C-alpha cells in the first residue's frame, strides 16, 4: 500500500451538501457513522485511480478504500478530478482529532490495486503542464478552479481517455 504525503487544504464546503446520500451509503457499507464533510488533500505528484477498483460509485463520484493516520477512510475522486486532489471521508473529524490546519502534511495510504500504473505519457505530461507547482490552486485560486472545471478541462479529460 503506497503512502502519499498530502497537504491539507480548505475546500469550498460543498461535500457536506452535495454528498449527503453518498455519506449515508458509505456509512451503511462500513458500519460506521461517516462524518458529513471531507478532508481535502493535495499531493505534489499525480496518482491515477482505477474506477473499477472503487468500493462505491455514484454517477460521477467514486470512493476507494484507504487509510489516514492508521484509520480506515474513503478516498473520493470524481470524473475529471485532478490526479493530485483527494477528498477524504471518514467517521473521524481529522482536523479536530489531529489538530490539522491548512498546510498540515498527512500520510494517506491507498491499496496498490486502486492505482493505475500504465498511464499514457501524454496524460502525465498534461498534468505536469497544468498543475506542477500549482497543486494547491485547485482549492486556493477560484479563477484557476473555474478554468480547470470548464470546457478546457473536459477537452483535456476526453483527449486522455
Residues of the chain where predicted confidence (pLDDT) is lower than 50: none
Does the predicted TM-score (pTM) go above 0.85? no
38 backbone φψ class: left, alpha, beta (φ>0; ψ -120 to 50): beta
Fold of 3-118: Elongation Factor Tu (Ef-tu); domain 3 (2.40.30)
Domain ranges (residues) in the chain: 3-118
161 class by beta-carbon count within 10 Å (0-12 exposed, 13-18 middle, 19+ buried): exposed
Select from 145, 43, 34, 40 the least CA-distant residue to 101.
40
Amino acid at each position: 500500500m503506497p503512502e502519499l504525503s498530502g497537504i491539507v487544504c480548505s475546500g469550498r464546503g460543498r461535500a457536506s451538501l452535495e454528498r449527503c446520500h453518498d455519506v449515508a451509503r458509505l456509512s451503511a457499507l462500513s458500519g460506521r457513522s461517516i462524518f458529513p464533510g471531507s478532508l481535502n488533500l493535495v499531493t505534489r505528484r499525480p496518482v491515477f485511480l482505477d474506477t473499477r477498483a472503487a468500493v462505491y460509485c455514484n454517477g460521477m463520484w467514486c470512493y476507494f478504500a484507504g487509510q489516514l493516520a492508521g484509520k480506515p477512510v474513503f478516498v473520493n475522486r470524481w470524473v475529471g478530478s485532478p490526479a493530485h486532489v483527494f477528498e477524504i471521508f471518514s467517521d473521524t473529524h481529522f482536523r479536530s482529532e489531529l489538530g490539522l490546519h491548512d498546510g498540515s502534511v498527512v500520510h494517506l495510504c491507498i491499496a496498490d490495486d486502486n492505482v493505475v500504473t500504465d498511464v499514457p505519457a501524454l496524460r502525465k505530461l498534461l498534468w505536469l503542464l497544468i498543475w506542477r507547482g500549482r497543486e494547491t490552486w485547485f482549492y486556493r485560486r477560484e479563477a484557476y478552479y473555474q478554468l480547470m472545471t470548464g470546457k478546457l478541462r473536459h477537452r483535456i479529460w476526453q483527449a486522455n481517455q
